């Protein structure tokens, strides 16, 4: 204690401005970032709630306060209920179909099978392709006479061919496939990196007790990584809820009919194409609420911290 005082005292006396201006210094350092963050992120977030209570149809048109009317309109619109349903199907299928196969692949990779380095590079590749690139690649696969249909025909499955993007029964599935395709490799590589931190002795001990790989995966590797799996689930959930609507925008615009209309795309369409600004922000508030609730639920079910 005495020693600490000896070393710190002289500092405080010679540089007395240090202590006196600590608070001012803090706000000088933090202030600019905080102000910018408030203007460009927090204010728009708040404004979303305000605009959602306006009757406002177009940037140059007048707006009038309409209370909760936009929310009432949401409940009356078939498009909205279809978008909610499609969003739940989209997330309900794509989320588990991405994260769990990714975990299995990562676990298998963590035993360093032959070719694991090359496989990791291949697996991470889709994550490097931006949404427009991804959408346009899949456009080529989904053509009426594109690769998928040609492959199905060549193995004698003509009756399974579809006009994938223009068929109401497959359009949503076509969007889901892109997210699953892009997500598995990305999360597999990240899970692999996390699994590499698990000490080998843990697996060895389990093996001595007679556990096989499947048991080790379920009883050791998965629980140890549960916290991070939760982070991955949250991230992918948010991507599916919002980011994935870029695929809808680039490929189907919600169609045919509203068969691939998701909430994220519905928000975009109402805001920037139909220009029902107020209404679009009511959709935004619903999405925001779904996002918060979803993340809370994921956190609740995966929040167990193990030390290793």
Which residues 96-155 are close enough to bind other proteins by CB under 8 A? 101, 104-105, 108-113, 119, 121-126, 128-133, 135-141, 143, 145-147, 150
The only residue of 83, 176, 267, 282 in contact with other proteins, by rule CB under 8 A: 267
Q: Give min distance, CB of 222 to other proteins, in A.
A: 15
Residues between 158 and 187 that touch other proteins (CB under 8 A) = 181, 184-185
The only residue of 152, 166, 198, 211 in contact with other proteins, by rule CB under 8 A: 198
Token readout for 76 is 């009356």
Q: Is residue 298 involved in binding other proteins (CB under 8 A)? A: no
Q: How far is CA 121 from CA 183, 185, 198, 238, in A?
A: 14, 9, 22, 25
Contact 54, 65 (CB under 8 A): yes
Q: Is residue 273 involved in binding other proteins (CB under 8 A)? A: no
Query: To which residue do tokens 């025909």 refer?
Result: 153
Q: How far, rounded to the nearest angstrom, does the alpha carbon of residue 5 sit from its chain's CA centroid?
A: 50
Q: Is residue 15 involved in binding other proteins (CB under 8 A)? A: yes
Start-end of H helices in the chain = 2-14, 17-20, 22-37, 43-51, 69-76, 78-109, 116-128, 131-142, 147-154, 171-195, 200-208, 213-216, 222-238, 245-251, 263-268, 277-302
Radius of gyration of the chain (CA): 26
The only residue of 81, 92, 204, 218 in contact with other proteins, by rule CB under 8 A: 204
- Kindly write out the interface string for residues 44-83 of this chain, putting x where it contacts other proteins by CB under 8 A and - elsewhere: xx-xx--x-------x------------------------
Q: Is residue 231 involved in binding other proteins (CB under 8 A)? A: yes
Count residues binding other proteins (CB under 8 A): 106
Q: Is residue 242 involved in binding other proteins (CB under 8 A)? A: yes
> Which range touches other proteins (CB under 8 A), out of 30-38, 73-81, 85-93, 157-165?
30-38
Q: What is the DSSP letter of 143?
A: S
């Amino acid at each position: 204690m005495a020693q600490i005082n000896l070393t710190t005292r002289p500092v405080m006396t010679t540089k007395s401005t240090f202590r006196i201006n600590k608070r001012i210094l803090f706000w000088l350092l933090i202030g600019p970032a905080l102000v910018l963050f408030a203007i460009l992120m927090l204010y728009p977030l708040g404004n979303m709630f305000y605009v959602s209570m306006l009757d406002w149809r177009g940037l140059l048109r007048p707006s009038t306060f309409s209370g909760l009317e936009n929310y009432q309109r949401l409940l009356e619109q078939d498009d909205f209920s279809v978008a909610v349903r499609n969003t739940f199907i989209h997330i309900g299928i794509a989320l588990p179909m991405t994260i769990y196969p990714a975990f299995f692949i990562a676990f298998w990779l963590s035993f360093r099978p032959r070719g694991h380095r090359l496989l990791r590079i291949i697996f991470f590749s889709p994550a490097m392709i931006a949404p427009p690139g991804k959408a346009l690649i899949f456009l080529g696969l989904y053509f009426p006479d594109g690769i998928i249909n040609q492959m199905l025909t060549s193995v004698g499955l003509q009756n399974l061919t579809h006009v994938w993007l223009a068929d109401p029964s497959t359009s949503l599935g076509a969007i889901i496939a892109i997210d699953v395709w892009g997500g598995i490799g990305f999360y597999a590589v990240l899970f692999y990196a996390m699994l590499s931190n698990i000490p080998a002795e843990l697996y060895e001990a389990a093996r001595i007790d007679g556990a096989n790989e499947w048991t080790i995966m379920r009883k050791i590797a998965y629980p140890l990584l549960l916290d991070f799996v939760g982070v991955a689930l949250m991230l992918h959930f948010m991507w599916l809820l919002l980011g994935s609507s870029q695929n809808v925008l680039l490929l189907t615009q919600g169609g045919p009919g509203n068969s691939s209309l998701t909430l994220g795309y519905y928000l975009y369409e109402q805001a920037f194409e139909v220009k029902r600004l107020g209404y679009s922000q009511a959709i935004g508030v619903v999405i925001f609420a779904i996002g918060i609730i979803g993340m809370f639920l994921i956190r609740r079910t995966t929040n167990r911290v193990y030390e290793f």
